[in-house]
Amino acid sequence: MRKAKIVRNTRETQITLTLSVDGQGRSKIQSGIGFLDHMLEIFSKHGLFDLELLAKGDLHVDIHHTNEDIGICLGEAFKKALGAKSGVRRIGSCAFPLDEAVTRVVIDLSGRPYLGVHDPNGLSKEKRVHPLSQSEKYFYSFDDAVDLWRAFTLHAGVTLHIWIESGEDAHHIIETLFKSIARALDQAAQIDPRVKGVPSTKGIL
Protein backbone atom coordinates (compact mmCIF):
# COMPACT_ATOMS: atom_id res chain seq x y z
CA MET A 1 0.00 0.00 0.00
CA ARG A 2 1.37 3.37 -1.04
CA LYS A 3 0.84 5.49 2.06
CA ALA A 4 2.61 8.32 3.86
CA LYS A 5 2.28 10.46 6.95
CA ILE A 6 3.86 13.91 7.15
CA VAL A 7 4.17 16.06 10.28
CA ARG A 8 5.36 19.64 9.93
CA ASN A 9 5.79 21.96 12.91
CA THR A 10 7.09 25.50 12.50
CA ARG A 11 6.57 28.81 14.28
CA GLU A 12 3.89 29.53 11.67
CA THR A 13 2.06 26.23 11.18
CA GLN A 14 1.46 22.83 12.75
CA ILE A 15 0.32 20.28 10.19
CA THR A 16 -0.36 16.54 10.22
CA LEU A 17 -1.23 14.95 6.88
CA THR A 18 -1.83 11.31 6.01
CA LEU A 19 -2.27 10.04 2.45
CA SER A 20 -3.15 6.79 0.75
CA VAL A 21 -2.54 6.98 -2.99
CA ASP A 22 -4.56 3.80 -3.61
CA GLY A 23 -7.64 4.92 -1.75
CA GLN A 24 -11.36 5.38 -2.23
CA GLY A 25 -11.62 9.18 -2.16
CA ARG A 26 -12.28 9.49 1.55
CA SER A 27 -11.20 12.65 3.33
CA LYS A 28 -11.18 14.41 6.67
CA ILE A 29 -9.90 17.96 6.25
CA GLN A 30 -9.45 20.77 8.77
CA SER A 31 -7.24 23.61 7.58
CA GLY A 32 -9.04 26.56 9.14
CA ILE A 33 -9.73 27.87 5.61
CA GLY A 34 -13.21 26.79 4.58
CA PHE A 35 -12.81 27.09 0.83
CA LEU A 36 -9.49 25.21 0.87
CA ASP A 37 -11.12 22.41 2.90
CA HIS A 38 -13.75 22.15 0.16
CA MET A 39 -11.09 22.04 -2.59
CA LEU A 40 -9.02 19.37 -0.83
CA GLU A 41 -12.13 17.23 -0.30
CA ILE A 42 -12.79 17.57 -4.04
CA PHE A 43 -9.15 16.68 -4.78
CA SER A 44 -9.43 13.55 -2.64
CA LYS A 45 -12.73 12.48 -4.19
CA HIS A 46 -11.70 12.94 -7.83
CA GLY A 47 -8.22 11.44 -7.41
CA LEU A 48 -9.50 8.53 -5.30
CA PHE A 49 -6.91 9.47 -2.70
CA ASP A 50 -7.64 8.95 0.99
CA LEU A 51 -6.54 12.17 2.67
CA GLU A 52 -6.59 13.36 6.26
CA LEU A 53 -5.34 16.82 7.17
CA LEU A 54 -5.25 18.76 10.41
CA ALA A 55 -3.61 22.17 10.05
CA LYS A 56 -3.30 25.03 12.50
CA GLY A 57 -1.64 28.18 11.27
CA ASP A 58 -1.16 31.88 11.88
CA LEU A 59 -4.44 32.84 10.26
CA HIS A 60 -4.46 36.03 12.32
CA VAL A 61 -1.74 37.16 9.88
CA ASP A 62 -3.28 35.78 6.65
CA ILE A 63 -3.72 32.41 4.91
CA HIS A 64 -0.38 32.39 3.09
CA HIS A 65 1.75 30.30 5.46
CA THR A 66 -0.99 27.72 6.12
CA ASN A 67 -1.89 27.41 2.44
CA GLU A 68 1.71 27.07 1.25
CA ASP A 69 2.74 24.66 4.01
CA ILE A 70 -0.20 22.39 3.18
CA GLY A 71 1.15 22.29 -0.38
CA ILE A 72 4.57 21.36 0.99
CA CYS A 73 3.15 18.53 3.09
CA LEU A 74 0.98 17.22 0.28
CA GLY A 75 3.99 17.15 -2.05
CA GLU A 76 6.18 15.40 0.53
CA ALA A 77 3.43 12.84 1.14
CA PHE A 78 3.12 11.94 -2.55
CA LYS A 79 6.89 11.73 -2.94
CA LYS A 80 7.18 9.43 0.06
CA ALA A 81 4.16 7.29 -0.86
CA LEU A 82 5.26 6.78 -4.49
CA GLY A 83 8.80 5.86 -3.51
CA ALA A 84 10.93 4.85 -6.50
CA LYS A 85 7.81 5.07 -8.75
CA SER A 86 8.37 1.60 -10.12
CA GLY A 87 5.62 0.52 -12.50
CA VAL A 88 3.78 3.84 -12.63
CA ARG A 89 2.35 5.32 -15.80
CA ARG A 90 4.28 8.51 -14.98
CA ILE A 91 2.28 10.90 -17.22
CA GLY A 92 -1.27 12.11 -16.62
CA SER A 93 -3.53 14.71 -18.19
CA CYS A 94 -7.06 16.00 -17.74
CA ALA A 95 -9.31 18.77 -18.98
CA PHE A 96 -12.14 19.38 -16.53
CA PRO A 97 -15.23 21.55 -17.18
CA LEU A 98 -17.54 23.24 -14.69
CA ASP A 99 -20.21 25.33 -16.38
CA GLU A 100 -18.33 28.14 -18.14
CA ALA A 101 -14.90 27.18 -16.76
CA VAL A 102 -12.43 24.68 -18.23
CA THR A 103 -8.97 23.97 -16.87
CA ARG A 104 -6.51 21.58 -18.51
CA VAL A 105 -3.41 20.11 -16.85
CA VAL A 106 -0.60 17.71 -17.67
CA ILE A 107 1.64 16.19 -15.02
CA ASP A 108 4.88 14.20 -15.16
CA LEU A 109 6.25 12.33 -12.15
CA SER A 110 9.64 13.30 -13.49
CA GLY A 111 11.64 14.03 -10.36
CA ARG A 112 12.12 17.55 -11.80
CA PRO A 113 10.01 20.19 -10.07
CA TYR A 114 8.45 22.73 -12.40
CA LEU A 115 5.15 24.59 -12.47
CA GLY A 116 3.90 26.31 -15.61
CA VAL A 117 0.74 28.43 -15.46
CA HIS A 118 -0.65 29.45 -18.84
CA ASP A 119 -3.44 32.00 -18.88
CA PRO A 120 -2.92 34.14 -21.99
CA ASN A 121 -6.33 35.80 -21.71
CA GLY A 122 -5.92 36.74 -18.05
CA LEU A 123 -9.03 34.82 -17.01
CA SER A 124 -7.65 34.13 -13.53
CA LYS A 125 -6.31 37.64 -12.86
CA GLU A 126 -7.45 39.03 -9.51
CA LYS A 127 -10.00 36.21 -9.19
CA ARG A 128 -10.91 35.34 -5.62
CA VAL A 129 -13.67 33.55 -3.77
CA HIS A 130 -15.60 35.22 -0.97
CA PRO A 131 -15.70 33.50 2.43
CA LEU A 132 -18.07 30.54 2.54
CA SER A 133 -19.77 31.70 5.75
CA GLN A 134 -20.22 34.90 7.73
CA SER A 135 -18.03 33.51 10.51
CA GLU A 136 -15.05 33.17 8.18
CA LYS A 137 -13.11 36.20 7.01
CA TYR A 138 -10.65 34.59 4.58
CA PHE A 139 -10.77 35.11 0.84
CA TYR A 140 -9.17 32.46 -1.39
CA SER A 141 -7.73 33.50 -4.73
CA PHE A 142 -6.44 31.77 -7.84
CA ASP A 143 -2.99 33.04 -6.83
CA ASP A 144 -3.37 31.24 -3.49
CA ALA A 145 -4.13 28.03 -5.39
CA VAL A 146 -1.00 28.55 -7.52
CA ASP A 147 1.07 29.05 -4.35
CA LEU A 148 -0.19 25.72 -2.99
CA TRP A 149 0.51 23.80 -6.20
CA ARG A 150 3.92 25.44 -6.64
CA ALA A 151 4.87 24.20 -3.17
CA PHE A 152 3.48 20.78 -4.11
CA THR A 153 5.54 20.51 -7.29
CA LEU A 154 8.74 21.54 -5.52
CA HIS A 155 8.36 18.96 -2.76
CA ALA A 156 6.81 16.14 -4.80
CA GLY A 157 9.37 16.54 -7.59
CA VAL A 158 6.86 16.71 -10.42
CA THR A 159 6.39 18.78 -13.56
CA LEU A 160 2.94 20.37 -13.72
CA HIS A 161 1.51 22.59 -16.47
CA ILE A 162 -1.83 24.36 -16.09
CA TRP A 163 -3.92 26.03 -18.83
CA ILE A 164 -6.93 28.17 -17.96
CA GLU A 165 -8.98 27.71 -21.11
CA SER A 166 -12.18 29.48 -20.08
CA GLY A 167 -13.93 30.82 -17.02
CA GLU A 168 -15.58 33.76 -15.33
CA ASP A 169 -16.45 32.62 -11.83
CA ALA A 170 -13.48 32.34 -9.45
CA HIS A 171 -14.99 29.39 -7.60
CA HIS A 172 -15.44 27.48 -10.85
CA ILE A 173 -11.92 28.24 -12.15
CA ILE A 174 -10.24 27.14 -8.91
CA GLU A 175 -12.46 24.08 -8.56
CA THR A 176 -11.67 22.88 -12.09
CA LEU A 177 -7.98 23.33 -11.25
CA PHE A 178 -8.15 21.03 -8.21
CA LYS A 179 -10.32 18.48 -10.04
CA SER A 180 -8.12 18.32 -13.13
CA ILE A 181 -4.93 17.98 -11.08
CA ALA A 182 -6.52 15.18 -9.04
CA ARG A 183 -7.55 13.23 -12.14
CA ALA A 184 -4.20 13.72 -13.88
CA LEU A 185 -2.23 12.78 -10.77
CA ASP A 186 -4.32 9.66 -10.26
CA GLN A 187 -3.67 8.68 -13.87
CA ALA A 188 0.09 9.28 -13.57
CA ALA A 189 0.39 7.37 -10.29
CA GLN A 190 -1.50 4.27 -11.43
CA ILE A 191 0.45 1.05 -11.78
CA ASP A 192 0.62 -0.20 -15.37
CA PRO A 193 1.30 -3.95 -15.47
CA ARG A 194 3.18 -3.48 -18.77
CA VAL A 195 5.74 -1.20 -17.14
CA LYS A 196 8.75 -3.04 -15.77
CA GLY A 197 10.70 -1.02 -13.23
CA VAL A 198 10.95 2.75 -13.47
CA PRO A 199 9.52 4.31 -16.67
CA SER A 200 12.64 6.21 -17.64
CA THR A 201 15.67 5.42 -19.79
CA LYS A 202 17.79 6.82 -16.95
CA GLY A 203 16.47 4.13 -14.62
CA ILE A 204 15.46 6.68 -11.98
CA LEU A 205 12.76 9.32 -11.48
Backbone angles phi, psi at 10, to 5 degrees: -130, 180
pLDDT in tens, the chain (205 residues): 899 999 999 999 999 999 999 999 999 999 999 999 999 999 999 999 999 999 999 998 889 999 999 999 999 999 999 999 999 999 999 999 999 999 999 999 999 999 999 998 888 876 777 655 555 677 889 999 999 999 999 999 999 999 999 999 999 999 999 999 999 999 999 999 999 998 888 888 8
Domains in the chain and their CATH numbers? Answer: 3-189 (3.30.230.40)
Q: What is the pLDDT, as a whole number, of residue 201?
A: 86
- Give the span between the Cα atoms of 92 and 94, in whole angstroms: 7
Strand partners, 176: none
- Give the span between the Cα atoms of 85 and 154, in whole angstroms: 17
Q: What is the pLDDT, as a whole number, of residue 205?
A: 86
**Cα–Cα distance list, 166 to 24, 116, 124 (Å):** 30, 17, 9
Strand partners, 163: 104, 118
